[in-house]
Amino acid sequence: MIDCSDLARSAGFWAEVLGYVSEGPAVGTYQGLIPADGQGVEILLQRVPDHKHGKNRLHLDLRTPDLDAEVRRVVGIGAHLLTSQPIQEYGWRWHILGDPDGNEFCVIQPPGSSEQDRPGEK
């Protein structure tokens, strides 16, 4: 469940970020999103009247082999970059971003997943 203030805006954002599609029309304050191929976990959006306060207790980590390209992609869709430089820990690199409602999520690159981490590969 992801809280939001505008179902259509959030559905468009998360569908594009995740490669999901709407699971039919919104029902009241809810909109379901499912993977475009129908295989995987459903995400449910809920329109709420209150604004986000404080840090999320739960957030999505989206893994990618190309951190910079994926961050550019999701920022182009409407995410807000919350870290100016990648955070690095135990070989992992990530940025923290906010969705259009300010909900945090991370774009994260595992160790050894970029071309620069694999000597001899192009």
Average pLDDT over residues 42-60: 88
Q: Comparing 88 with 114, which gets the higher pLDDT?
A: 88
Q: d(Cα 60, Cα 104) in Å, to the nearest integer? A: 8
Q: Are 101 and 11 in contact (CB under 8 A)?
A: no
Q: Is pLDDT of 31 > 60?
A: yes
Q: What is the pTM of this model?
A: 0.86
List of domains in the chain: 1-50 (3.30.720.120), 52-122 (3.10.180.10)
> What does the mean pLDDT of the chain come to?
91
Average pLDDT over residues 66-90: 97
